[in-house]
Copies of this chain bind each other. A is one copy, B any other.
Amino acid sequence: MSVTAPTITSFLPPHRTLMGPGPSDVPQRILDAMARPTIGHLDPAFTDMMEQTKTLLRYAFQTENKLTFPVSGPGSVGMETCFVNLVEPGDKVIVCSNGVFGGRMLENVKRCGGVPIVVEDAWGRAVDVAKVEAAFMAHPDTKILAFVHAETSTGAQSDAATLAAIARKHGALTIMDCVTSLGGTPVLIDAWGIDAAYSGSQKCLSCTPGLSPVTFSERAIEKVRARTTPVQSWFMDLNLVLGYWSGEGKRTYHHTAPINPLYGLHEALLILAEEGIEKAWARHRTMHEALKHGLEGMGLSFLVPSDERLPQLNSVLLPEGIDDAACRARLLNEFNLEIGAGLGALAGKIWRIGLMGASASQKNVDTCLKAMAAVLAV
């Protein structure tokens, strides 16, 4: 052979405490589920589990939407699935941009041939609903409002209920990013009237990364069905995906689903249902209060005003004279603790401390506070 076999051994990962912006700590129960025997993606036993997973996801999203399923890819694929299906060339889309993921939405709109109307807000602040209302007044032919409920890059939470109501009043559909909120703070798809939403498996659901739960309202499905141009992506085309995930009549082959990761997601959603979603939300709030108390006691302050703050993602400002990378390296190497760096304009200015899913525990709060105190020498 021209390319010879490399000498490499099995990978044995270190045990970390994951308190960055995701992945969060994955409970052993979920890891064990992922290690169960692989079966075929058209096996009746597997399709039964798929139906259960859809039911469990409807609970997590608080929706009756029939089209609720996990996309076979990370959150970015869930995002793109929403945009390529709902945005037709020439559609005006109001995109709220207050962080990295609003910017990614904008990029998606452009690549779909949509006409973006950008509503800018400062990184670290919620979306200003008055600006969105004004954008609709200026562009009454807007087809879609797209916003990030929980900005993973800043830790700011926006008022999804009000934003969705504005969109509906103006006859537009909504696309909501709830990657970091699902399971951590209320996500009420039906009560708010959201038309399309996507999330990720590795945040407050505490599963491994790689799957993106999505949900679509009937109004959203009608827009996809009424398209006059084909969806630009074959893989993400809901008209085709529906044949596999819909469960109506014969299930047709579309792609080979990621079997074992789906075992993991099923178990993760089961853990959420067992705890009860309201208790999970309350736990995230309680742990946030405990962490905040400790961090403020060390003199650290938050990027986001308290009434716009996500409990599960705590962005703290770096103290003066602190070496960002060196501190995070110490946390990782001496304490096996991962926290997140700032992204984009916030690189070197903030740390993002996640309290997501199983990571929202007193044990993790204690670990984090102890390690931070040592590294900051306070």
Seen from chain A, the residues whose Cβ lies within 8 Å of a Cβ on chain B are 1-6, 8-16, 18, 20, 22-23, 25-26, 29, 31-41, 43-46, 49, 52, 55-56, 58-59, 62-64, 72-77, 80, 84, 104, 107-108, 110-112, 190-191, 200, 202, 208-210, 230-235, 253-261, 263-264, 266-267, 270, 273-274, 276-278, 332, 338, 343
Q: Could you tell me if A6 and B56 are in contact, using CB atoms closer than 8 angstroms?
A: yes
Q: Contacts A22-B256, A234-B107, A255-B76 given; indicate if A35 touches B35 (C-beta within 8 A).
A: yes
CB distance from A271 to the nearest CB of B (A): 10
Q: Tell me the bound Cα distance from A1 to B34 in angstroms.
A: 30
Q: Could you tell me if A270 and B338 are in contact, using CB atoms closer than 8 angstroms?
A: no
Q: Could you tell me if B62 and A111 are in contact, using CB atoms closer than 8 angstroms?
A: no
Partner of A208, one of B38, B45, B80: B38
A267: which B residues are within 8 A, CB to CB?
10-11
8 smallest A-B Cβ distances: which pairs?
A: A210-B258, A35-B35, A5-B273, A208-B260, A209-B256, A76-B255, A31-B35, A26-B38
Q: Tell me the bound Cα distance from A28 to B267 in angstroms.
A: 20
4 extra interface residue pairs, beta carbon distance < 8 Å, beyond A20-B40, A31-B37, A74-B255: A9-B270, A10-B33, A77-B235, A210-B210
Most B-side CB within 10 Å, residue of A52, A258, A338: A258
State how many copies of this chain the complex holds.
2
A276: which B residues are within 8 A, CB to CB?
5
Q: Could you tell me if B26 and A37 are in contact, using CB atoms closer than 8 angstroms?
A: yes
Task: Tell me the dominant secondary structure on chain A's binding face.
Answer: loop
Q: Could you tell me if B31 and A234 are in contact, using CB atoms closer than 8 angstroms?
A: no
Query: Can you list 28 contacts pairing A with B, beta carbon distance less than 8 Å?
Result: A2-B190, A3-B58, A3-B63, A3-B64, A8-B52, A10-B266, A11-B52, A13-B45, A13-B49, A14-B39, A14-B43, A14-B45, A20-B40, A31-B38, A39-B338, A41-B209, A72-B73, A72-B210, A73-B235, A75-B256, A77-B255, A80-B235, A84-B233, A110-B230, A209-B259, A210-B210, A210-B261, A232-B232
Q: Could you tell me if A35 and B32 are in contact, using CB atoms closer than 8 angstroms?
A: yes
CB distance from A64 to the nearest CB of B (A): 7
Q: Contacts A40-B16, A63-B3, A270-B9 given; indicate if A233 touches B23 (C-beta within 8 A).
A: no
A41: which B residues are within 8 A, CB to CB?
23, 209
Q: Tell me the bound Cα distance from A264 to B35 in angstroms.
A: 10
Q: Contacts A5-B277, A52-B8, A74-B72 given; indicate if A253 touches B33 (C-beta within 8 A).
A: no
Q: Tell me the bound Cα distance from A235 to B256 in angstroms.
A: 19
CB distance from A301 to the nearest CB of B (A): 25
